[in-house]
Structure 1
Amino acid sequence: MSKLNLSKLVAATLLLSSSLAYSAELTGAGSSFIFPVLSKWAEAYKAKTGNSLNYQSIGSGGGIKQIKAKTVDFGASDAPLKFEELQAAGMVQFPAIIGGVVPIVNIDGIKPGQLKLSGDLLSDIFQGIVTNWDDKRVALLNPGIKIPAGNITVVTRSDGSGTTAIFTDYLSKASGPSGWKEAVGSGASVKWPAASTVSGKGNEGVAANVARIKNSIGYVEFAYAKKNSLSYTQMKNMAGQFVLPEEASFAAASAGTDWSKVPGMGTFITNAPGAKAWPITGATFVIIYKQPENKASAAEVLKFFDFAFTNGKKAASELDYVPMPDATVDYIRNSVWSQVQTK
């Protein structure tokens, strides 16, 4: 073989080796809230680029721990980090998707979307003040619906959870004076007061427990309710209207949010005004370093989410998530991603 052909062969081999090495998986961890749509995005991205995503649906608290430990390329949390914490750690975050947290129940004869609840009543159920489904306050909100008696089992998250942060932020706002905020508080982990409380890991664990336990109530991202054919409730919103969880009501809740005006883009959008707004709406935030150790992987993370923003809207809508508005995506590209050094 001539030296020229040998050189070409070596160059081709090196190029192939480089390509194969770079097609290694991206890694992420955290929110189970985003996992259903993230899986769809990852599937489509791999089909187009050959690059895959290994995402651990371990809860927002776990995702924050892993990105801080630099064991993954990005973390995902439904409880946004405070701007000061981002600054101190040298990180940025951006909302990737909007969705709804929904109460789910396992009550004989109650169909999806049939049972009506309010913030006050939901708070008192999760505090263990209302303990049976035949309570007069439940009946008052649901005239004409036969709700069988049964001791209520409350199902919550056992792990540090952004879904819990959204849910408890809502209860703190909607339960009135001397309600949830004073008695329990909000956050990714709280001390659940109801004596009947059973916990599960991730949205998956909560959904599984509610499906298994008669007369139980829990809370999950809406895609998990639909996927597991669980009965979800209507909720009375800030405008006093009962609304169903769906893409339109999640979009109505988030319509007034100007993410660009919030330092670090981190805000809750629970108990939003508007007659059509679902009151327990939230977003998942992706967290990455401004100066990542692996710049190539960081660049690929941005490419992945750019692909998701551009090509993943249909997949998001099919799962009743709300894609980020175009104006917000433009802000993310120009003002957030520009801070990440990928070269």
Structure 2
Amino acid sequence: MSKATSPLLLACMAALFVGCSSSNTSTDPDGSGDMPASTENVKLTGSGASFPYPLYDRWFKEYSESTDGVKIDYQAKGSGAGIKDFINGTTDFGASDAAMKDDEIAQVDKGVQLLPMTAGEVVLAYNLEGVDGLKLSREAYVGILLGKITKWNDPAIVKTNEGIDLPEMDITVARRADSSGTTYVFTQHLSTISEEWKNGPGTGKTVVWPNSDKFIAAPKNDGVTATIKQTPGAIGYIEYGYAKLTKIPMVSLENQSGKFIQPSLESGQAALANVKMPEDLRAWLPDPEGEDAYPIVSYTWLLCYKKYDDPKKAEVLKNAVRYCLTEGQKISDEMGYVPLPENVVEKVTAALDNIQ
């Protein structure tokens, strides 16, 4: 974990994971109905996205604890670092909120199988004492991220928050310092709804943010979360699970239908409802349709090799994924994620045949 990460936040996350794991250990690790044969000391290492880290950490710990001879370690380094490690062959699997591009896949001699494992919402969390139920129009939140709206009592914010006493306070934006899939998802959405953003910062795991001392960089989702909580007047983009865990207020955002939507399991599922998963399992939701859809939702992927030098590692990985697709999906909601639709589970399960 980064040295900039809040110790209090990490302690809170660790306590939740340990408590939850002790009460939910599976007796059927791969979810198939049969216990897998004992495996002789197989260790898998992975790195990448911090977006799904709370869920992946719990999944992998539970699977490791319930399967003799298996240990799965996952390090949240950010999607960009995870893709780099995976391409360089220094890990057994990677994880990214930005699905690998064709030119990245071409660099991997062993072949690449992308597996969407869960979905989540990117939320705008904020720190304004006494302000509950904040709503931001598209005009307002794009303006804030462009550095054009700098005060909390700006007319663009006031007009959608009738009856709320907004302070004449500077807005501080907390953003990612590292190469981040969360940033990719967030900026892809901003590029979709704003020509000015598209032709300015654009879409990427890293982008050029406004040059202002009111834009503060922090590493990973937990670092941004800690920065928001420690900075009065702050707003920043993080994965919903981090906001849910730390009980930090979240903005209701204007969706494509013009409704202001709070992030939740229901609004995330509404966003996924109209998305068709293609054969390569790379589906994007830059601005989902649906009256009740939350506007910033993404799948997040495991990055697996199609060919492993050690067949035992391939088999352990596939069994672990089967567990995550079955028993693991049952805990997604309580951890702040959106369970995969059943048709997506079926496609991902079938894709495991490509891993040898």
TM-score by shorter chain over 0.5: yes
Larger CA deviation: 266-275 vs 77-86: 77-86
DSSP 3-state at the match of 2:346: helix
Matched, 1:339 2:331: no
Q: How does 1:287-302 map to 2 (within 5 A)?
A: 287-302=303-318
- Give the Cα separation in 1 of the matches to 2:117 and 2:197: 29
Aligned residues: 316
Deviation at 1:339, TM superposition (A): 1.6
| AA at the equivalent of 1:181 | K
Q: Do the aligned partners of 2:144 and 2:150 also contact (CA within 8 Å) in 1?
A: yes
Pairs within 5 Å for 1:206-217: 206-217=224-235
Cα distance in structure 2, aligned partners of 1:138 and 1:181: 22
Candidates 62, 69, 72, aligned match of 1:44: 62
Higher mean C-alpha deviation, range 262-271 or range 98-107: 262-271
Q: Quick check: 2:136–2:251 contact (8 Å CA) kept in 1? A: yes
User: Aligned ranges for residues 56-135 of structure 1 at < 5 Å?
Assistant: 56-83=75-102, 85-87=104-106, 89=108, 90-111=111-132, 114-135=133-154
Q: CA distance change for structure 1 residues 138 and 288 in 2, over 3 Å: closer, same or farther?
A: same
TM-score (norm 1): 0.88
Match in the other structure for 1:257: 275
Q: How does 1:229-268 map to 2 (within 5 A)?
A: 229-259=247-277, 262=278, 264-268=280-284
Post-superposition offset of 1:56: 0.5
- Compute the displacement of 1:23 (Å): 2.7
Aligned to 1:152: 171
Instruction: Report what 1:8 is aligned to.
Output: none
Compared CA separation, residues 21 and 41, structure 1 to 2 (3 A) = closer
Question: Which of 165, 178, 188 is matched with 2:205 structurally?
Answer: 188
Is the deviation greater in 32-41 or in 84-93? 84-93
Letter in 1 for 2:237: Y
Equivalent residue number for residue 179 of structure 1: 196
2:258, 2:197 → 1: CA distance? 19
The alignment status of 1:164 with 2:179, answered yes or no, reads no
- Residue ranges of structure 2 left out of the alignment (5+ in a row): 1-36
Structure that is richer in helix per residue:
1
Amino acid at match of 2:352: W
Aligned structure 1 segments of 4 or more residues deviating by more than 6 angstroms? none
For residues 22 and 319 of structure 1, the distance between their equivalents in structure 2, rounded to whole angstroms, comes to 31
Counterpart among 26, 45, 67 of residue 27 in structure 1: 45
1:194 CA drift (Å) = 4.9
Q: Which has the larger radius of gyration?
A: 1
Q: What amino acid is the match of 1:267? A: A
Deviation at 1:324?
1.4
| Structure-2 separation of matches of 1:44 and 1:189 | 33
Cα contact 1:103–1:219 (8 A) shared by 2: yes
Aligned identity (percent) is 34
SS in 2 for 1:128: coil
Shift of 1:268: 1.8
Q: Is the 8 A contact 1:126 1:194 kept in 2?
A: no
Give, in whole Å, the separation in 2 of the partners of 1:183 and 1:168.
11
Q: Deviations over 1:248-271 (max 9, x none)?
A: 111110111121xx3522232121
Aligned to 1:25, the other structure's residue is in SS state: strand
